[in-house]
Amino acid sequence: MPEKIDIHGVMIDNVTMEEALDKVLSMLEGQTPQKIFTPNSEIIMQATRDPELRDILNSAELIVPDGAGVILASRIMKNELKEKVSGIDLVRQIFANTKKRPASFFILGGKPGVAEKASVNIVYDYPKAKIKGYRNGYFDESEVPEIIKQINESRAEILLVGLGAPKQEKWIHRYANELNCKILMGIGGSIDVFAGTAKLAPEFMRRAGLEWLYRLIKEPKRAKRMLDLPRFILLTLKKTMADRKN
Ligand code: UDP
């Protein structure tokens, strides 16, 4: 088992992308649903205020560091994570690996029409990725039994859930026992990226750890929520200084 690193109460697996993919492949050989979460610094800050969310995150079989902020925090705390393993990059690796090990997927989330668009693009790029079904992420609680039935009847191995955080983590945790998939993975806004309705930051910005800046420019209404980013770094510095004093 890979070592875990504690980032403000969230126990992140210290894995490289390759190790994360190996773990996903071994999950595909299992029978009971296993959870994958990909917290970034905003979600970790939310988890510091919401113990239920923290426990849900920690209950996942694989929890990878999504974003430069999480890596920076581990560095400041002198317990460095090996590398950033963002949710979207991990999903791409899983799709690409279907060349070697075909796999089937159900996509849940996004506005009406978006999951369908994403499915078309995914199958075009990765012909061995079988999309067994999709559904938009705007539904009422009363529709959940029907959605679960649709997912189970599709017999998809991997359920990709993009309802935004923390909704998707709570949804996956709540219904895990009723779902027959092998892997349940929270993927945030990735469905929009696969559909082409949202863009990732350019590669040079992602490499420089500036994906947050790109997002802020594209979606200024996220500014308030993004205050969690500087808060996250401040909390890290405060804790590190307190630890050094003791
Ligand atoms: N979404 C959804 N149902 C909801 C709320 C959101 O399907 O009730 C989708 C939304 O359309 C978008 C994704 O969830 O595709 C949220 O993306 P965001 O970039 O906000 O993800 P986060 O940063 O929260 O992970």
Residue 76 lies inside a defined structural domain of this protein: yes
Q: Is 109 in the pocket of ligand 1 (CB under 6 A)?
A: yes
- In angstroms, what is the span from residue 246 Cα to ligand 1's centroid? 41
- pLDDT-derived band of residue 194, with 50, 70 and 90 as boundaries? very high
Q: What's residue 225's pLDDT? A: 86
The average confidence (pLDDT) of the chain is: 96
CA triple 153-97-86, angle to 5 deg: 90
Atom of ligand 1 nearest to the CA of 108: 7
Report the CATH number that the domain containing residue 131 is assigned in CATH.
3.40.50
Q: Is 33 in the pocket of ligand 1 (CB under 6 A)?
A: no
Displacement of CA 59 from its chain's centroid (Å):
14
Omega before 39 cis (within 30°)?
Answer: no
- What 3-state class would DSSP assign to 186? strand
Residue 117 lies inside a defined structural domain of this protein: yes
Q: What's residue 117's pLDDT? A: 98
What's the CA gap between 183 and 233, in Å, rounded? 32
Q: Indicate if the pLDDT at residue 235 is higher than 60.
A: yes
**Which residue from 45, 91, 161, 163 has its CB within 8 A of the most atoms of ligand 1, so it is best to mutate?**
163
Whole-angstrom CA distances from 232 to 48, 62, 71, 167 are 10, 22, 12, 20
Question: How large is the average pLDDT for residues 63-67?
Answer: 96
Q: Indicate if the pLDDT at residue 1 is higher than 80.
A: no
CB 3 within 8 A of CB 16: no
Q: Indicate if the pLDDT at residue 2 is higher than 80.
A: no
Question: How large is the average pLDDT for residues 80-103?
Answer: 97
Residue with CA closest to ligand 1 atom 7: 137
What's the CA gap between 200 and 224, in Å, rounded? 20
Domain that holds residue 110: 4-198
Residue 203 lies inside a defined structural domain of this protein: no
Q: What's residue 244's pLDDT? A: 83
Residue 210 lies inside a defined structural domain of this protein: no
Residue 68 lies inside a defined structural domain of this protein: yes
Q: Indicate if the pLDDT at residue 105 is higher than 60.
A: yes
CB 223 within 8 A of CB 216: yes
The count of structural domains within the chain is 1
**Which residue from 44, 136, 172, 192 has its CB within 8 A of the most atoms of ligand 1, so it is best to mutate?**
192
- In angstroms, what is the span from residue 27 Cα to ligand 1's centroid? 25
Question: How large is the average pLDDT for residues 111-117?
Answer: 98
Residue 65 lies inside a defined structural domain of this protein: yes
Residue 188 lies inside a defined structural domain of this protein: yes
Q: What's residue 79's pLDDT? A: 94
Residue 136 lies inside a defined structural domain of this protein: yes
